[in-house]
Amino acid sequence: MDKFWAHLIKVQPDPDPWVVVVSALVALVIVGFRMPWQLSRGLITIAHEGGHALMALLTRRKLEGIRLHSDTSGVTLTRGRPTGPGMVLTALAGYLAPPLLGLGAAWLTEQGRITVLIWGVLLLLVCMLLLIRNLYGALILLVTGGAVFALIMYAPADIQQVVALVAVWFLLFGGIRPIIELQHKRRRRQARDSDADQLARLTFLPGGFYVFFFLLVSVASVVFGAYLMNPL
């Protein structure tokens, strides 16, 4: 345990500036182009549904499970009062989870806590696996968790650092695109049960306000995350 703790809290040296820049460009390409985005969007869905689940637990709602679907959508099932602060906070947490998780990961990266970050991601995936209620969702989490575990066990420290940087940028950039896609669907009236529209029914504010709020938090997270990881 002493050796594991020493390994866990070990501080890695700062990456070279070009590594930070290239990792940001790689993440931007993944998010910006259709094919890589379709292949990786499910990771953002995992963070999104994890945000709903965590907030449901924090607000003492009964969490019944999480489902992840092959079209990269997902749903978190909870029970409790259909209105009130707990329901509002649970609905708010989904779109805010990926950028805020990316911001927290950016802070850990800036502190050189890459090992803590990777083990933390693995722990979150294991916790979500216990809540999954469909086969596809379990398969996706097992594959993702297996890849993270292999990274921990077999990849050298510099490779872990590069992968962590790409993942941090991906969470930051990837938190913005689903919000833009959400607004496009709302304009075509194809997202009547979206988080923003549910919040509009729960409160006196329109759905467009919540879309703007999601976008504001996501952009602010990118700005602060970039500031933390600024190679200069």
Residues 156, 87 contacting (CB under 8 angstroms):
no
Q: Please, is 33 exposed, middle or buried when counting C-beta atoms within 10 Å of its C-beta (0-12, 13-18, 19+)?
A: exposed
pLDDT above 80 for 1: no
Residue of 190 and 174 predicted with greater confidence: 174
pLDDT at 12: 87
> What average pLDDT does the segment 135-156 reach?
94
pLDDT at 159: 93
> What average pLDDT does the segment 161-187 reach?
95
pLDDT at 212: 96
Whole-angstrom Cα distance, residue 128 to residue 16? 34
pLDDT at 51: 95
pLDDT at 189: 84
> What average pLDDT does the segment 13-18 reach?
89
What is the tens place of the pLDDT at every residue in 89-134?
Answer: 999 999 999 999 999 999 999 998 999 999 999 999 999 999 999 9
Residues 173, 180 contacting (CB under 8 angstroms):
no
- Write down the pTM of the prediction: 0.94
Which residue in 37, 67, 72 sits closest to 52, CA to CA? 67
Under the banding of pLDDT at 50, 70 and 90, the label for residue 6 is confident
Residues 23, 102 contacting (CB under 8 angstroms):
no
What is the tens place of the pLDDT at every residue in 48-88?
Answer: 999 999 999 999 999 999 999 998 899 999 988 888 899 99
pLDDT at 206: 93
pLDDT at 35: 94
The CA–CA distances, whole Å, from 12 to 21, 63, 121, 166, 174 equal: 18, 37, 18, 16, 26
pLDDT at 175: 95
Residue 78 burial (CB count, 10 A): 20
